[in-house]
Amino acid sequence: MDRLNDGHTVKSYDGELEHLHCLVLEIGGLVIHQVSEALAAFKSRDPELAQKVIAMDNEVDRLEVQTDDAVSKIIAKRWPLSSDLRLVIAASKSVSDLERIGDEAVRIAGMVIQLFGSESNEPNTLMLRDINRIGNLALISLRNAVEIFDVWDEEKAMRVIESHREMEEEFQGDLRHLLTYVLEDYRNIGFAISVILVIKALERIGHHAHNLAEHVLFRVHGEDIRSRQPFQDG
Amino acid sequence: MPKLIIRIFRVSPCLSRTYPMTTYMYPNLSLENNKLDNGGGGRDFRGISRFYKRSTATRDQTIVEDDKTVGEWSTDSPRITCRTVDVHYGAKLAIDKISLDIGRNEVISFIGPSGCGKSTLLRCLNRMNDTIPGCRVRGEIKLDNEDIYRDDIDVVTLRAKVGMVFQKPNPFPKSIFENVAYGPRIHGLASSKEELAEVVEISLRRAGLWDEVKDYLGHPGTGLSGGQQQRLCIARTIAVNPEVILMDEPCSALDPIATARIEQLIDELRELYTIVIVTHSMQQAARVSQRTAYFHMGKLIEVGATANVFTKPLHKLTDDYISGRFG
């Protein structure tokens, strides 16, 4: 058998694929930063930091356009096949998930400004504890999802997918928990709704991280696992 | 390798990106340790360089078994069956123990680098290799359960049943009508002039050429354009009522428009015939065939549904070839 090269015969094709891969990772790094800063803004009740998170979204959008452009160029120029085709598809889908994660971070930042922007609102700090917990889970999930996109680790991708169940349970638990505050004192309802919106945004971030892991599995295996029921109990 | 790394750095602005992976921002985050400890520390990530694992480094989902054919090489009720076929050109082994079924009304494409044996196997299917001195074929090739290498097989009849279209259009230096009428006449497929004219018309219609040439049937076939000449050759093949059509790079000498017409024709002819096409164009194989067979150095490496072979090949060699990684 011939000795095989690791890269393509046309080296610039390798460069273009690497460029695409790096763009996705760059957006990944940026949205992780965005989500963590949004959570930090919530924790420290810092509307200024929240403004910065919102401003970061322009950069995410710019990179998304750049990635879409890179995807179109590769398809038009190279007609990718096999693992290259799967990489291009996975990159394209992942970028759109990452961009939505960025949007969720902006939503959280918007809530920070709404809740802590004026002195008149003094929120119930007990309710905020739920945000920290689910926020950590979402961030861990997101960070792991971006990391496995970097190294194409199938096992870790499966674990991210499995960990999504914990996230769902946490979300349901938080909803029930917040309801008790509302039942206790109906004046909490306004603040509870805001917290629920933030928790929902974090739950969506976890869901997009789950999608990223699916894209990684598709890239590695060539199999679309969306049709499977990932959380079926045996 | 150093050249490649330099290139990656040149084209990859993210290697100097402002927002690196947060592995460095949150070192305590991991799946094993599901705790978040950002504690305000570790935020200053600028200036951190990261070892970048190349995307091409992970292609371990493919199988590497040098001698074994992977995929679906056999089919139910095949039209052609090849079993452990060896072909030698003198002392040189051109194809090595190939077993493959070719189904009815399917288009199967043979792909692989030059010298891999795909054209050799194609030519075995209608005994075109008989004309090459020093060529020996061993193993078993059956057409409709009949061994085509039996001594009493009439090769001329076999080649009518298994027609061939070549890379370069090769019309006879005769009129368009005579090009198509020649085969049916020598095989006695038409009993009258009218019947012959009907066979010619049907063949030219099936080849999608009738409307273009019906008023010029007496003109020389060599006066047609390249794409028209190739369709004339296809009409000539169809005229003798074959079961199988072999095509050896039928579009490599044609422009994209003529290529598209031939591909459309292949799609239509599939209803009536089994078609085996050798092509160097991966995109053409992907467009026209239902199954694809990949050959490498005389061995059949992988056979499978075209959609699978081009998106998730089973064998690493197939993956490397179709994605352009051979060097």
* Whether this model's pTM surpasses 0.95: no
What are the φ and ψ backbone dihedral angles of B142, each rounded to 5 degrees?
A: -120, 140
Mean pLDDT (whole number) for A227-234 = 46
> What is the mean predicted confidence (pLDDT) over B108-130?
94
CB B235 within 8 A of CB B186: no
Chain B nearest-CA distance from A160, in A, is 8
CA B324 – CA A10 distance, rounded (Å): 8
What confidence score (pLDDT) does residue A186 get? 82
Which tens digit of pLDDT belongs to each residue from B131-149? Answer: 899 999 999 999 999 999 9
Hey, is the C-beta of B322 within 8 angstroms of any chain A C-beta?
yes
Name the β-bridge partners of B300: B295
CA distance A73 to B11: 14
How many whole angstroms separate alpha carbon A203 and alpha carbon A197?
10
Number of CB atoms found within 10 A of residue B218's CB: 9
CB of B231 closer than 8 Å to CB of B208: yes
- Choice between A143 and B21, residue whose per-residue pLDDT is larger: A143
Q: Is the pLDDT of residue A2 over 80?
A: no
CB contact under 8 A, B21 and A79: no
- Two structure tokens written together for B163: 């027609």
* Test the B interface: residue of A3, A12, A18 with most B CBs within 10 Å: A18
- Average pLDDT score over residue span B108-137: 93
- pLDDT value of position B2: 41
Quote the minimal CA–CA distance from A29 to chain B in Å. Answer: 5
Average pLDDT over residues A126-146: 88
Confirm if B285 and B278 have CB atoms less than 8 A apart.
Answer: no
Residue B77, SS3 per DSSP: coil
Residues 146-175 of A with CB under 8 A from B: 146-147, 150-152, 156, 159-160, 163
CB atoms within 10 A of CB B105: 13
pLDDT at A120 over 70: no
| Contact across the interface for A9 and B326, Cβ inside 8 Å | yes
Distance CA A82, CA A68 (A): 20
Least confident range of B141-145, B293-297, B313-317: B313-317
Q: Mean pLDDT score of chain B, rounded to an integer?
A: 81
Domains, chain A: 7-227 (1.20.58.220)
Contact A218, A149 (CB under 8 A): no
Q: Which residues of A touch B36 (CB under 8 A)?
A: 136, 139-140
pLDDT at position A123 is: 63
Query: Where is B143: in which H helix or E strand?
Result: strand B135-143
Chain B contact for A74, CB < 8 A? no
| Most distant CA pair in chain A, distance | 76
Longest dimension (CA), chain B: 96
Residue A137 with chain B: CB contacts under 8 Å: 34
Of B23, B322, B323, the CB nearest to A147: B23
Q: Which of residues 187-226 of B touch A (CB under 8 A)?
A: none
Q: How far is A118 from chain B (nearest CA, A)?
A: 25
B61-95: pLDDT as tens digits: 455 556 688 888 888 889 999 999 999 999 999 99
Q: Of B251, B270, B271, B252, nearest to B261 (Cα)?
A: B251
- Which one, of B277, B143, B171, lies nearest residue B232 by Cα? B171
How high is the pLDDT of residue B224? 95
Going by C-alpha positions, the residue among B69, B96, B99, B97 that lies closest to residue B81 is B99
Say how far apart CA A14 and CA A8 lie, in whole Å.
Answer: 6
Question: Which residues of chain A make contact with B96, given a CB cutoff of 8 A?
Answer: none
Q: Which of B14, B30, B66 sits opposite A23 (nearest CB)?
A: B14
Q: Which two tokens stand for residue B161?
A: 């049943």
CB contact under 8 A, B12 and A9: no
CB contact under 8 A, B324 and A222: no
Rounded to the nearest angstrom, the minimum Cα separation between B4 and chain A is: 7
Through-space distance between the first and last CA atoms of chain A, rounded to whole angstroms: 45
Sheet with B135-143, side-by-side order of all strands = B92-103, B78-89, B135-143, B146-147
pLDDT digits (tens, 9 = 90+) for A44-86: 889 999 999 999 999 999 999 999 999 999 999 999 998 899 9
Inter-chain residue contact A6 with B325, CB threshold 8 Å: yes
Contacts of B295 in chain A (CB under 8 A): none
Instruction: Give the pLDDT of residue A6.
Output: 66
Task: Residue B109: name the closest of B321, B299, B288 by CA.
Answer: B288
Cβ of B55 within 8 Å of Cβ of A10? The answer is no
Residue found under tokens 């599995």: A217
Per-residue pLDDT band for A183 (boundaries 50, 70, 90) equals confident
Q: From CA B303, how far away is CA B301, in angstroms rounded?
A: 7
User: Is the Cβ of B38 closer than 8 Å to some Cβ of chain A?
Assistant: yes
Q: Are A136 and B35 inside 8 Å of each other by CB?
A: yes
The 10 Å CB-count burial string (b at 16+, else e) for B80-95 is bbbeebebeeeeeebb
Long-range contacts, B253-257 (Cβ 8 Å, 24+): B253/B167, B253/B168, B253/B169, B253/B226, B254/B226, B254/B227, B254/B230, B255/B226, B255/B227, B257/B227
Q: What is each CA distance from B174 to B135, B163, B183, in whole angstroms?
A: 32, 20, 13
Identify any residues that bridge with B291 across adjacent strands, giving them in sequence order: B108, B305
> Can you give the pLDDT at residue A121?
59
Q: CB distance B22–A7 less than 8 Å?
A: no
φ, ψ dihedrals at B312, nearest 5°: -145, 70
Tokens coding B267: 């799609």
- Give the whole-angstrom CA distance, residue A216 versus residue A151: 9
